Amino acid sequence: MRALAAVFLFVLALVAFEGGCPVVPAYAAAPVTDTTPADEPTASRPGAPKLTVADYPTYRGLNSRLTVWVAAQLHLFFAAFVLGVPIFVLVIEFIGWRNGDSRYDRMAHEFIKISMGAFSLTATSGGILVFALVVLYPGLFAYLTRVFGPIMMLYALLFLAETACLYAYYYGWDSMQGRRKPGHMLIGLALNVVGTVLMGLANSWATFMMAPSGVDAQGAFAGDVWAAVAGPLWTPLNLHRFLANIAYGGAIVGAYAAYKFIAAGTPEEKVHYDWMGHTANGIAIVALLPLPFAGYWMTKEIYAYSQQMGITLMGGVFAWLFIIQAVLIGTIFLAANFYLWCGMTRFDGANRTAHLVKYIAGVLVICFLVWFTPHTLVMTARELAAIGGAYHPVLGPLGVMSAKNTAVNIMILATFLTYQLFRRAMIRSVEPWMARATRFQVAVYVAAVANIVWLGIYGYYVPANVRIGLSVPQVMTTLIAIVVCVAIDEVIAARSERIGTVHWGRMPVRAQYALFTLAVAFTWLMGLMGYIRSSIRQHWHVYTVMRDASADAFTPTIGQAAAVVSACTLLFFALILFVFWLSGFGRDRGARTALAGAGATP
């Protein structure tokens, strides 16, 4: 019955979205005989309010910006987690169902159980955010409501549908096995569709504030809600957040598995949580690999919308934040690879490929250092004189996008190579063509790296707008190399013989801290990038149409922003560790015993 209710609500929401619900305000449909020029606000089509400091109430000495910032960031952390997890849970459930392997099913169930624990915190933080906006920024909230009122109503309805789907999906898990499994997966699909639509709706408010559409230069809303939703940055942000949510969900459940592994009291538990951590790390990395490209697209669209905003982002004071970003992403890559390298100790045959690890580590570190190198530095006259110019004579060229794009593509290839070695450690080629295919794969790697490096060097000799465009063939080179190597690997793996035994649970504890590193760095990175995305509006609530007249309209220093991001991360980890701890009261002992002694790769 719960499942039926969820489906009913979902269908109701879809009907409302299609037209059953008035998504356009009534006044927009009424005949208009207004002869006022389009950029002049009128009584029926008022512009964005022009606020003064007096329009911003204060509440018990709370810093308004800080309150909304922390509430929004916490909500985004939890929302990303609870939207990302069901996506890969459904995939894992499907794999288990297709293969008839109940271990996948149980792992998927445990993943969604953690997500359930975080769901109420998502709703709570969302409620705090809305109340904080209404109380502390009433002018802004009123304007956003004027534009997005119908969408906000739809959002509330869809949130109900999301809740119903999630409850039906989780509580129906055990009873909807066997012949009822496809029905259960349909509920999972509905959960993901509703969740993704919810994300898209909420994204439209953020992108409207960055790049308003559907309003004129004065902020007067013309009445077309869709025009306001589908702004120039909406689709890139949707894609970026969709991928990031999956990667983030993988990283957090990886941290859960790591915590459980460390706290495990029996070898069976270690086996189970080792496998879970391995799967979670894989999910996080697979979703992470295309993320930089989604980021490039987003940045390109920001430049296309407003060069001034783009330059503020990449060339002004915010440019330094990308050095912090480089450190965080470098940490993520190194932690994920370190975990995989540690994971090779599970295989008896791993010594055949283990010697290559040091070279991959070297490549990763070199690429990280290139990515980390700043270009245009804000320096004092003394520093300028000491360096001999605005750029460092040796390291300066490494700071430009050509070098950074080259470095990140090679990092991605190196990480993928680690995965390949990991897989190869488990199998042995039995036919001569397999050796030739492997040599072809090596050639693909060499050609890909050569092409990426050549395009990087070429970038130094062409104008900036051409140079930015070179990131596309570099990315395509990386993706083609990965797709070709995966295809060849699949064919080889299907015809090879397995060697040795996989000893799940034979994993050092330090590898579990690598999983935690991944989760912490991901969370901090999300907080940082969220701050950058939001603050490039500078002193505008809604860029160019509604100015922030509050006392907090200034841009904080990097250190101040970092302190807030850290506080949000700490708060999130305190709450999520509480969720992890609570999940220990669950009933998954069956899952752990089922995996006990499992020798083959699950």
Partner 1 sequence: MTGLFRVGSYSVGLIGLFTAFSYYGIPQLVPEPPPTEERMTDAMTTGEFVAAGARLYARACVLCHSGVGDRAPRLDAIATVWRERIGDARYRGSAKNLEEYLRESMLEPSAYVVQGFGKPGTGDGESPMPAATTGALALNPGEIDAVIAHLQSAAGAEVTVAPRAGLAAGAGRPQTEAFAGEKAPDAVAALQKFQCSACHLLPGLAVEEGAQLPGPDLREIWKTAANRVAGVNARDFLAESILFPNKVVAKDFEPGLMPEDYGDRMLVAELQMIVDYLTQER
* Smallest separation (angstroms) from partner 1 to the CB of 104: 25
Tell the residue number behind the tokens 């035994």, with chain if given: 501
In what helix (H) or strand (E) does residue 368 lie, and over which residues does it extend?
helix 357-372
Secondary structure of residue 172 in the 3-state scheme:
coil
Nearer to partner 1 (CB atom), residue 371 or residue 445: 371
Contact 479, 444 (CB under 8 A): no
Rounded Cα gap, residues 485 and 516, in angstroms: 30
Contact 224, 475 (CB under 8 A): no
Nearer to partner 1 (CB atom), residue 94 or residue 371: 371
Nearer to partner 1 (CB atom), residue 244 or residue 546: 546
Binding interface with partner 1 (CB under 8 A): 50, 217, 255, 258-260, 262-263, 303-304, 306-309, 311-312, 315-317, 320, 323-324, 327-328, 376, 378, 380-382, 385, 390, 463-465, 468-469, 513, 516-517, 519-521, 524, 538-540, 543-544, 547-549, 553-559, 561-563, 566, 569-570, 573-574, 577, 580-581
> CA-CA distances (angstroms) from residue 469 to 137, 256, 474?
40, 40, 9
In what helix (H) or strand (E) does residue 497 lie, and over which residues does it extend?
strand 497-498
In what helix (H) or strand (E) does residue 547 lie, and over which residues does it extend?
strand 546-547
Task: Record the tokens describing residue 134, joined without a space.
Answer: 């209404």
Secondary structure of residue 233 in the 3-state scheme:
coil
Nearer to partner 1 (CB atom), residue 163 or residue 538: 538
Q: Which of 55-76 are b and which e, b meaning 16 or more Cβ less than 10 Å from the residue's Cβ?
A: ebeeeeeeebbebbbbbbbbbb
Of 260, 209, 252, nearest in space to 232 by CA: 209
Rounded Cα gap, residues 55 and 433, in angstroms: 74
Rounded Cα gap, residues 247 and 281, in angstroms: 9
* Smallest separation (angstroms) from partner 1 to the CB of 65: 13
Rounded Cα gap, residues 112 and 576, in angstroms: 14
Nearer to partner 1 (CB atom), residue 434 or residue 507: 507
CB neighbours of residue 307 within 10 Å: 10
* Smallest separation (angstroms) from partner 1 to the CB of 221: 17
Nearer to partner 1 (CB atom), residue 55 or residue 428: 55
* Smallest separation (angstroms) from partner 1 to the CB of 188: 29
* Smallest separation (angstroms) from partner 1 to the CB of 306: 7
Nearer to partner 1 (CB atom), residue 206 or residue 521: 521
Nearer to partner 1 (CB atom), residue 13 or residue 247: 247
Secondary structure of residue 427 in the 3-state scheme:
strand
Nearer to partner 1 (CB atom), residue 17 or residue 303: 303
> CA-CA distances (angstroms) from residue 40 to 28, 29, 112, 278, 597?
17, 20, 51, 59, 74
* Smallest separation (angstroms) from partner 1 to the CB of 540: 7
SS (H, E, C) 116-132: HHHHHHHHHHHHHHHHH
* Smallest separation (angstroms) from partner 1 to the CB of 209: 13
* Smallest separation (angstroms) from partner 1 to the CB of 123: 24
Nearer to partner 1 (CB atom), residue 37 or residue 559: 559
* Smallest separation (angstroms) from partner 1 to the CB of 400: 9
Tell the residue number behind the tokens 């994300």, with chain if given: 199
* Smallest separation (angstroms) from partner 1 to the CB of 569: 5
